Amino acid sequence: MGTLEILKSKNFFQKYLLITLISLVLALFFNAMGVVRIFLITRIAGILAVIAFALLLGQILLIFAKANRTDILGRKILQLNYITIIIICNCFVYLVIAGLLNSFYLDPASSPIYGQLLAMCMFTISLCFGIGLSLTSYFFLSIESAWDF
């Protein structure tokens, strides 16, 4: 139970937000750099993407648990949380569509560039919304009424 109490503390939340933010920014950077297709960079980019989205999922759940619904700023943060979830879910659907576009372009002589472009856009958008959510939560953490600690 002691561990759970630590997880609910403001100190832990602050550190968690910071780690999520850093991993999301790194994931964005390395995935953009991955275009050059250097094996090590793509390897790091892939691992960072998984870590960043796992942390983002935890962050979304933490914000649900800790944002103060009776406060106007708390409600705004919750709204941003919902928007981030919707955007990420949509982006993931488009990522699957992009994968299919890569496989099913109509003419064998044409290039699957549109599928790859779509994937890059959707991935970047979802990471950017995650970064936005982390940043907002981190900077508004000092406003005590917005949180339920």
Partner 1 sequence: MKHRKYALVVVALCVFMVIAAFLPYISIPYRVADAETQFKQVYGTDYTNLDTAGMRPVPFSIYDSIFGIQIDESKFSVETNILYLNNGNDSFFFDWYKPAGEGPFPVIIAIHGGGWVIGNKGTGNVMPFNKYFASKGYVVFDLNYGLYDIDEAAEDMGAFGDAFKMIASLISPAYNQSYTIQQQLENIAYFTQVLEQNSTKYHADLNNVFIVGRSAGGHMASIVTLGYKNPLFAGNFSATMTIKGGIWFYPPTNLSKFAGAAFTDSLLTGTLPLAEQYKKFSASFLVGNSTVVPPIIIIHGKIDGLVNYESQALEFYNYATGLGKTCLLVTIPWGGHAFDINFQTYGGQMSTYFIERFMALELGG
Site residues, partner 1 (CB under 8 A): 31, 34, 37, 39, 42-43, 45-47, 49-50, 57, 61, 64, 95-96, 98-100, 102-109, 111-112, 115-116, 119-120, 123
Query: How many beta carbons lie within 10 A of that of residue 141, not counting itself?
Result: 17
Work out the end-to-end distance of the chain between its first and last CA atoms, rounded to an integer number of angstroms: 16
Q: Nearest approach, Cβ of 68 to partner 1 (angstroms)?
A: 15
**For partner 1, the closer CB: 96 or 143:** 96
Comparison of 22 and 51: residue with beta carbon closer to partner 1? 51
Q: Which is nearer to partner 1, 6 or 36 (CB)?
A: 36
Comparing CA positions, the residue from 148, 144, 140 lying closest to residue 8 is: 148
Distance, CA of 105 to CA of 113 (rounded, Å): 9
Phi, psi of 70 (to 5 degrees): -85, -10
Quick one: 33 or 135, whose CB is closer to partner 1? 33
Distance in Å, CB of 80 to partner 1, minimum: 17
Whole-number minimum distance, CB 38 to partner 1, in Å? Answer: 11
The amino acid present at 118, given as its one-letter code, is: L
How far apart are the C-alpha atoms of 77 and 133, rounded to whole Å?
Answer: 8
Quote the strand ranges of 33-97, DSSP E.
none
**Distance in Å, CB of 34 to partner 1, minimum:** 5
* Phi, psi (deg, nearest 5) at residue 128: -65, -40
CB of residue 139 to partner 1, shortest distance in Å = 26
* 75 vs 135, beta carbon nearer partner 1: 75
